[in-house]
Structure 1
Amino acid sequence: MNWRGGDGTPAIYETGGPELYAGTPEDVRVAVAAMTAETKDGLRHEAVPWRKFHHAYGPGDGLPDILTGIGCSDAESADRELLNLWNMICHQGTPSAAGALAVPFLVRLALSHSHHRALLLVGALARRPHLGDGTRAGLLRADTPAGVLNFEPSGYLNAWSVEAARQALTADTDLLLPLLDHTDPAVRAATAYALSAAAAPARDRIKAALCTRFDVEDDLVTRASLVLAIGEVAWTERDADTIARTHAWWRDPTRPAEVRVSAALAWLCLVDDPIPAELDTFFDEEATDRLAALLAPVPWFFDTDREEGLRSVLVQMRNPDDYAWLATC
C-alpha cells in the first residue's frame, strides 16, 4: 500500500518507508539546504521547487504569489493574508513541507515590513505540531520526539518539515537577532518566540541576545516571552545556568509577576523535581485571572489554549497523569 499525496510526497508504506527518500530531492531538508543567499535575499522564488512539496490544500507552487502579495499590501491587508497563509501552511497547528520552504521568505517579510505575524508563523513552522501541549515535557519542546510519526494531510513525514524549517530559521539567526530591539513590542515578543526554536548551532548567540534584551525590557508580554524563550533554548541540554537563573527569578519577590510565573514554568520544564509546595502556593497567589488575561498574547500560552492560555498550562503541569497521552504525539 502506497499513500502519496502527489508528486514529491514520500510514500508512508513501502519498502524502506519514508527513509527511502532521505537525502533525495524529495526530502524537503535537502531543498532548504540548497537555497542560496541569492535565492533568499533576492526573493528568487522560481529557484525553489515549490511544486514538489505540499501544504494543507495542495502543491506549494501558489505560495510565491501569496508571499509577494503580502509584501505589497498595507498592514491590515497583510495581516489578513498572513492569517490565510497560516491556514494553508500550518493548518490546525501542523507545519507543512511547503511551509518550510517559505520560512526564509517570511523572515525577509518580517525584516522589511515588521510583520510580527510573519515571525509567529516562522516560529510555528519550526515547532512540532503542538496539539495544545502545555505539559512540563511539551511546553518548551520544538523538535519531534524520537519514534513519533506525524504525517501532514498530504502524507508527508512532518518531522522532516519541522527539521527543514528549523534549519532555515537557524541559517537566518543573525538577520533576526536585531529585531529583539525593535520599537514594536509585538515584534520583539514574536522574535523571541521564533528564535527560541532554532537548532543547536545558533543557541549560544540566541541565549546571549535574549538575556541582554531581558535586562532592559519593559513590556509585560515581551518580558514573559523572553523568559520562556530563554528556557526553550536551554530545553534540549537542560543548561544548568538557565536552570539556576529561572529558579532564582521565580523565587525573587522583587521581580514582576509575569517574570516570576513564566520563570517558574520554564524551571519546571527544565527539571524533573516534583512541584514544590512553595511553588504551588505561589501559583495560587500570583497566577490570577487578571495576569492570565494580560499574558494571553504570549505565544506559548496562546499555542496551548487560545481561551485559557496560562490557566491551561497550569492545569496540565499540575495534573500530568491526565495529559500523559500528549507524550505520544
Structure 2
Amino acid sequence: MDPTFGMCRALADGADLAEFAGGPFDVRAVVATIRPGSKHGSTLDDVPWGNFPHGDEVREAVRQLATDGGSARDAMGVLYGMCADDSRAAAAVAVPFLIPVATDIHHPHRAEALGVLASPARARHFGVASRDDFPLHRAGTQHDDYDDYGVEVTGYPAGWSVVAARVAITTEVPALLPLLNDSEPSIRIDAAYALATAADPDHTVRTALATRFAKEHDPMVLAALVLATAETTRAHPHPPTSTWIRELWQDRTLAPEVRLAAAIGWLCLTDEPVPDALHATVGALATEERVPAMDALPWMNAAAGAGEPGLLRCVRRMIHPEEPEPDDDPWASLP
C-alpha cells in the first residue's frame, strides 16, 4: 500500500485512530522530533514526508522557500493551497522549517514564509465569520486533541494537524516575538496572526501584543494586534482584556480600522447581545470603501467567502445573523 494515504485508507476501512497515535503517521509525533534553528537541527530529508498526503509537494515548496531556489510565490501557493483545500497535515510538518526562514531578517523569503506559517494552525480557511468560528484558536493548551475539527478531505484527522502546527509555533514563540517590532508593517501583522495560535498559559504572547500596541502607530497593525489579542484571550480568558477591547471600539479617537477590529474581537469574547452602540459604530464604519484596507488583515481573508469580503461577512454573520447566507462558493471571492 502506498504509505502516503495508508493511514487514511485504514481509517476509512474501520481502523481505530488510537492505533496510529504516536507513530510515524501521527503528524504531532513527527513534528515533535524536528529540531529547527541550530546547526544540529533536522533537515528536510530527515522527515517522513511520504507518510502524509501531498508530503513530497510540501517538502519541495519548503525547500524553495528555504534555499531561495525557484519561485517563492509558487511555494506559498502550494502551502496555502493545501490548507485551503483542507489537507494540512504535511503543511503542519513544514512549520518548524518555515520558522527559521521567517525569523531570519536577511532571508529573501522571510515574508513569504511568515505569510503561510499560521495557515496549518487554523482548521478552516473560508467563511469563518460567525462569533463562534472567527477566533479559530478555540482551545487553550497544546495538549488538546481538537476532536471537534473532524477529518480533512483526505480522511486525515484535522485536529492532529492543527495541534502539530500550534505546538511548533508555541515552541518557537521566543523566536517569533521580536517580529512584532519589525520595521515592516506587513511582517508585524503576520507575526501577530501566527502568535495568536500559540498556547499562552503564562500570557507571554498577550503581554507582548499589549506592549507592541502601546507603541504602535500604523492603524492596520493596531487592528491586527487587537484581533490577535482577542484570539488568544478566547483561548485563555482574561476579563480585564475583554473589557479593554470593549473600550477600544467605543474610543472615537482611534482609527476606524482599529475600532472595527475591536468590535469584531469583543463580539467573539462575549455571549452578550449586540449593544445598540456597537450596531451604530459598525454601521457607520464598515463601509464598502473600508473593505480594501481591512483586507490587509489575514483574519479578514479567512472570513471571506461566496464573493463576500471578510469585513462585510463578519458584520452580517455577527450583527445581522438573520440575513440569509449567499451561495457558499469559497472560491467566488478569489481572482
Distance in 1 of aligned mates of 2:167 and 2:146: 18
Flag the 1:185–1:43 CA change in 2: closer, same or farther, 3 A.
farther
Q: 2:73 aligns with which of 72, 79, 90?
A: 79
Distance in 2 of aligned mates of 1:71 and 1:36: 15
| Length, aligned pairs only | 315
Deviation, 1:161, is 0.6
Flag the 1:188–1:146 CA change in 2: closer, same or farther, 3 A.
closer
- Equivalent in the alignment of 1:213: 212
Aligned pairs (5 A) from 1:134-213: 134-143=129-138, 148-201=148-201, 204-213=203-212
Deviation, 1:297, is 1.4
Distance in 2 of aligned mates of 1:278 and 1:170: 37
Cα deviations by residue, 1:213-242 (Å, 9 ceiling, x for unpaired): 111112222111110000001002332021
Distance in 2 of aligned mates of 1:33 and 1:229: 25
Deviation, 1:23, is 2.4
User: Which one-letter code corresponds to 1:78 in the other structure?
Assistant: A
Deviation, 1:135, is 0.7
Residue 314 of structure 2 aligns to a residue in which SS? helix
- Equivalent in the alignment of 1:29: 28
Deviation, 1:321, is 5.5
Contact 2:226 2:262 in 1 (8 A): yes
Q: Structure 1 residue 223 and structure 2 residue 222: aligned?
A: yes
Q: Which runs of 5+ in 1 are unaligned?
A: 325-329
- Equivalent in the alignment of 1:327: none
Contact 2:27 2:160 in 1 (8 A): yes
Flag the 1:109–1:148 CA change in 2: closer, same or farther, 3 A.
same
Flag the 1:24–1:42 CA change in 2: closer, same or farther, 3 A.
closer
Deviation, 1:143, is 4.3
Distance in 2 of aligned mates of 1:146 and 1:81: 28
Q: Structure 1 residue 101 and structure 2 residue 71: aligned?
A: no
- Equivalent in the alignment of 1:316: 317
Distance in 1 of aligned mates of 2:263 and 2:217: 19
Distance in 2 of aligned mates of 1:104 and 1:35: 7
Contact 1:12 1:155 in 2 (8 A): yes
User: Which one-letter code corresponds to 1:320 in the other structure?
Assistant: P
- Percent of paired sites with the same residue: 33
Residue 134 of structure 1 aligns to a residue in which SS? coil
Deviation, 1:298, is 0.7
Distance in 2 of aligned mates of 1:304 and 1:41: 40
Distance in 2 of aligned mates of 1:82 and 1:24: 28
- Equivalent in the alignment of 2:232: 233
User: Which one-letter code corresponds to 1:317 in the other structure?
Assistant: M
Q: Which runs of 5+ in 2 are unaligned?
A: 140-144, 326-335
User: Which one-letter code corresponds to 1:11 in the other structure?
Assistant: A
Contact 1:141 1:235 in 2 (8 A): no
Residue 12 of structure 1 aligns to a residue in which SS? helix
| Normalised TM-score (structure 2) | 0.85
| Normalised TM-score (structure 1) | 0.86
Cα deviations by residue, 1:66-115 (Å, 9 ceiling, x for unpaired): 322223338x932343123322x3143x2511111100111112122263
What CA RMSD, in Å, does the superposition of the two structures yield over aligned residues?
A: 2.8
Contact 2:89 2:161 in 1 (8 A): yes
Deviation, 1:293, is 2.1
- Equivalent in the alignment of 1:6: 5
Flag the 1:100–1:53 CA change in 2: closer, same or farther, 3 A.
same
User: Which one-letter code corresponds to 1:84 in the other structure?
Assistant: V
- Equivalent in the alignment of 1:61: 56
